[in-house]
A and B are shown apart, each in its own frame.
Chain A
């Protein structure tokens, strides 16, 4: 789990080749075996089709993996995103129906949208602050520091909804998960917006380099005068914010808050997406790679569903894809492979 300076020698673009190849392979499979996979149509100014559906369903994982990428770049990991998703959704639903958990069916006064969205996001930021403070100021290993919130967070979410599944109807809020904006489902717009913000923040300011410096060589960055702790806290807060937004999308999409199952295993999907995308612990990161990784996972899931295989079996395919990509990125595996090829080729380097 230690960072390796060797990663820095790789060009970030060439690292995208393998994930892209994997994505194309899955898409190519669909060209031949899934009729109508590329079919897209515009109805009432809205775009429909399998590809749009993949983007839409993949939105939560994509959002979380944006934040996770930055956390990875600082040499950390955030296991608590699934729990933050559950907390954010539970809070939104409870604000809409505060009396529901006590058995009151009536809605009472309609909650204003800024409260329904604002309070959960604020609490998500607080969760991120907690994680960041534990990692940066208390100096706890990231896996363990975020494990605490992962275990306790789901309990807190259940505390908010008192273990019930809170169902609700709230037109403005449902727009987040089920509405259309600019001809696209709103979740896709949100992901696009977050991507633009992240790009501007990390590539048009020095922030991106600071994040990489903190992850690649904490000591050197300390001597350079980078406020490593502050950056770490900020990154964990950003990751939790992404998770909070994803929680709102999921909650608004299914019109219910399920504290037990919302965002379950999403942290693993996000971590897988980041690793497939080519970001490793500490140092160079590529948000574009993580997006490709998230798309690989979602396309795989959709493909399996359209093939009529039980959705639970997706896990096996996910495992195979992750281990293949990880192996290809592993230096010793490449050496082994090239060594074998060289022997077989006898003369080729």
Chain B
């Protein structure tokens, strides 16, 4: 169990360094930035982003991409609200239906990608249109969620100190991260995902179940999206078809900043967690600053994304060495279980 300081670990170390840097900067500039509450709020406000980001990490590690996540979150929110509010269904079966929908949706996209050799970018673009359109079909307006079960769910939490309290959504986020770490490091499925992303041809030749793994990855991602939709509706207590427009880009940004290589094969769920927290930290920083407008968040995220992608590019070309080809670049990277 030794962690080797090799080039693959540099992106994640850079991520941790950036996180510490922003945190330290905030702590020096603003009183109260260091408080436990601010830290816990990072988890509360980004719970839904984080839940999807874990799923997206697997998708990107396997060398694919999913653009449908924001729409699926919105659809699940509206579906949940419609079932509970309009049809008077008990929340537990409603939640089960939502999760089943997410799994089915992801599975269907995975099947299209695998069986018909369509690019994942195209299929998930269609998924994005479809889920958003379906959300509009259900309702054009925001639907409130008023249900005693949901209220107890929201009120459930762990009291850390007298002032700080961790609600169920943040706990769910943490639980999903642990699940993701476990799957990626200690299961066959996780290893297969890395292998496919590293070099699909080799994975096929090695006799790994490439198709099954790919479909499962998208199913997992779809389920996590649905879970994020539920977390989001717990966070806002409503379902809104226009919610989370452009969320997929935030999620991809979080995963990339978290040190996962976009060419596939390299990345850690742990890094994604820090990537999500960095996005939240930028938001918090701008809130604390007070005079900066919200669009500075976008610019800051864009700049960070740029720096990290350049870093990745530099590292992966150094990794492949002089063999760097002009077109496709796939570093033959294998996961290192630390």
Q: Is A342 an interface residue (CB 8 A)?
A: no
Q: Is A288 an interface residue (CB 8 A)?
A: no
Measured in the bound complex, the distance between the Cα atoms of B65 and A215 in whole Å is: 21
Q: Is B137 an interface residue (CB 8 A)?
A: yes
When C-beta atoms are compared, the residue in chain A nearest to B117 turns out to be A332
Q: Which residues of B contact A316 (CB under 8 A)?
A: 129-130, 133-134, 136-137
Q: Which residues of A contact B301 (CB under 8 A)?
A: 151-152
- Interface pair A155/B296, CB less than 8 Å apart: yes
**Chain A interface, number of residues (Cβ within 8 angstroms):** 54
Q: Is A327 an interface residue (CB 8 A)?
A: yes
When C-beta atoms are compared, the residue in chain A nearest to B241 turns out to be A312
- Interface pair B117/A144, CB less than 8 Å apart: no
CB distance from A302 to the nearest CB of B (A): 17
- Binding stretch for chain B, among A91-99, A187-195, A317-325: A317-325
Label chain B's interface by main secondary structure.
Answer: helix
Measured in the bound complex, the distance between the Cα atoms of B136 and A314 in whole Å is: 10
Q: Is B25 an interface residue (CB 8 A)?
A: no
- Interface pair A147/B298, CB less than 8 Å apart: no
- Interface pair B133/A315, CB less than 8 Å apart: yes
**Chain B interface, number of residues (Cβ within 8 angstroms):** 53
Q: Find A151's partner among B115, B134, B253 (CB 8 Å cutoff).
A: B253
Measured in the bound complex, the distance between the Cα atoms of B112 and A326 in whole Å is: 10
Interface of chain B residues 305 through 329 with chain A (CB within 8 A):
305-306, 309-310, 313, 317, 324-329
Interface of chain A residues 59 through 97 with chain B (CB within 8 A):
75, 77
Q: Is B262 an interface residue (CB 8 A)?
A: yes
- Interface pair A315/B130, CB less than 8 Å apart: yes
Q: List B residues at the A interface (Cβ < 8 Å).
A: 65, 112, 115-123, 125-130, 132-134, 136-137, 140, 241, 245, 249, 252-253, 256, 262-263, 293-299, 301-303, 305-306, 309-310, 313, 317, 324-329
Query: What are 9 inter-chain pairs, A to B, with CB distance below 8 A?
Result: A143-B262, A154-B298, A162-B293, A163-B293, A268-B128, A312-B136, A316-B130, A316-B136, A331-B117
Extra pairs beyond A158-B293, A320-B130 (6, CB < 8 Å): A139-B313, A148-B306, A148-B309, A163-B294, A272-B125, A312-B136
Complex A-B, nearest 8 residue pairs according to Cβ-Cβ distance, in ascending order: A152-B302, A155-B298, A315-B133, A316-B133, A218-B327, A312-B136, A158-B295, A319-B129
